[in-house]
Structure 1
Amino acid sequence: MNTNDFRIEWYRWIRSRRALALLVVMIFVGVTAPLLTKHLPDLIGSSSGLQVIKQPEWRDGLQGYIKQSSQLGGVICIVMVCQVCGIRRETPLGIFYFTRTESPRALYVPRMVMSLVVVTAVALAGAICALYETWASFGTLEIRPALGPLAVELCALVLFSALTAGLAAVTRSAAWGGGIAGAVWAAGLFAAAATKISPYLPTSALAPSVVSLTWTDAAKALLPLLALAVAAVVAALVRPIRYSGRARS
């Protein structure tokens, strides 16, 4: 494993336009979510002079971005990260990779690292666009209360991408890795109805509250996701590529 391996994986993200597609999605959501939230009362209108919904404020605009970016961006991250890290042994490219090295770290670390770098970069770009559009649409923005939820969401996206990468690598299948990651996400959505465990679910970290988020809430949501991500990555990096000196059939 050397710098060339990381460079190759970077070019894989750039030249395949995966990074561009993810960047476009996050910027689009960052621009449109606060704008739509601002003009939602105008779109819905009023009935008999009675306001149907309350006039939104900047927190509502930012919450709209967090909700949409965590859902849409999270799904796309799952798909793209699985495509990068889920190497199937029986494919021609998989045969090449699995026969040129005996170290799972040399095979997967560059892919995982560059995947997380791309996810971090595009999430930052989306957050910056959301902050600007929220300020431009609502005319006001409190930076400190706004940065906390965005930072938690960014960390959650990176950790969930790491979990997905680890699952795709340990199963050696993009389909299985993405399916398990999607099942974890879906289970979190269903379990959110249980108020006692909802603060500890990955979905709580992916969509933190702009209004009531505290450091305790952030820790409760992020630490279980961190544990899952570390476990998946470690499992992928310690699973042998070859057994008894031969490629496993």
Structure 2
Amino acid sequence: MSVWRVEWLRLVRTPRLVSLLVVFTFLGLAQPVFVRFGPQLLERMGGSGGARVQLPPPSVEQALPAYLGQAGGLGMLVAAGITVAACAVDARYSLSVYYRTRSSLVAQLVPRLVVNAAAAVAAFTLGLGAAAYETAVLIAPVGPAALARCWAAGAAFLTLACAGALVAAVLSRSVLAGFACVAGTFMVLVPLLGTVPALRPWVPTAAPAGLLDALPWRPAVVALTLAAALVATGLLVARRKPLPRH
């Protein structure tokens, strides 16, 4: 049985694929609902004596970026965690010896990265379709060009996150440490870089400003370029990495 088929079976026979599909689909269905009925929900929760919160009228420009923002946060964490767990071949000594005495670490990592990254993008695509459907039903139809731009931005960001997860899995000695590294990078460091005015147009994000009018190409290009560099770095380190000591 090939390594590719083993990884595919590992994806579909464990909760990994189900977790991705559930999280992204839920986010896609929930965000347009909140955008549409958010003012009413806040009004009911606030009561008659509380401060009133004014929200802009519901629109496509709010609904789809809301999904992209959540997909780039919670969805990204789920995708990165699954990828780290899949690529952390050396996390357990016995399994590491078993795998690496039968094929190289690089040969083990490539199918794990590709299968899990593809699953993350596929789940994101399903969630985007759910978000577009809910938006069309509750607010207004979504144009195909805007939908394509949303997909390109989100898929590029998730690809970058999975590439970062590969590097973290190769360099870390445990799944938890690798996941913490990825989470800290994409939830803390990357947003901090986005606060710098000179860097803001280039910082990768799942929901760049003005996405529905035109594709901000700079964050997408930076995300894909960094993803390629991270994959190359991770595989180079893996090629030279010795077997872990017991």
Structure 2-normalised TM-score?
A: 0.86
Aligned-partner SS, 1:199: coil
2:72 paired with 1:74: no
In the TM superposition, 1:217-236 aligns within 5 A as 217-218=216-217, 220-236=218-234
Paired residue for 1:183?
184
| 1:50-103 alpha-carbon deviations (Å, 9 max, x no partner) | 9822211122111211111211101111111100001225522112112222x2
Q: State the number of aligned residues.
A: 239
Partners of 2:145 and 2:244 in 1: CA distance: 53
Partners of 2:90 and 2:23 in 1: CA distance: 28
Residues 40 and 240 of structure 1: CA distance in aligned 2, closer, same or farther (over 3 Å)? closer
| 1:84-129 alpha-carbon deviations (Å, 9 max, x no partner) | 001225522112112222x232111111111112112111111111
Equivalent residues of 2:117, 2:158 under 8 A apart = no
Report the alpha carbon displacement of residue 191 of structure 1 after superposing the two structures with TM.
2.3
Partners of 2:195 and 2:238 in 1: CA distance: 40
Paired residue for 1:169?
170
Please, which runs of 5 or more residues in structure 2 have no aligned partner? none
Please, which runs of 5 or more residues in structure 1 have no aligned partner? none
Cα RMSD of the aligned pairs, angstroms, is 2.6
Partners of 1:33 and 1:14 in 2: CA distance: 27
Aligned sequence identity (%): 24
Paired residue for 2:133?
132
Partners of 2:244 and 2:75 in 1: CA distance: 35
Aligned-partner SS, 2:181: helix
Aligned-partner SS, 2:89: coil
Equivalent residues of 2:27, 2:71 under 8 A apart = yes
Paired residue for 1:88?
90
Equivalent residues of 1:88, 1:172 under 8 A apart = yes
Residues 88 and 100 of structure 1: CA distance in aligned 2, closer, same or farther (over 3 Å)? same
In the TM superposition, 1:32-181 aligns within 5 A as 32-45=30-43, 52-88=54-90, 90-101=92-103, 103-171=104-172, 173-181=174-182
Match of 1:175, as an amino acid? L
Report the alpha carbon displacement of residue 166 of structure 1 after superposing the two structures with TM.
3.1
Match of 2:148, as an amino acid? L
Residues 85 and 193 of structure 1: CA distance in aligned 2, closer, same or farther (over 3 Å)? same
| 1:201-236 alpha-carbon deviations (Å, 9 max, x no partner) | 22xx22223556534x22x11233223322222122
Paired residue for 2:236?
238
Aligned-partner SS, 1:141: coil
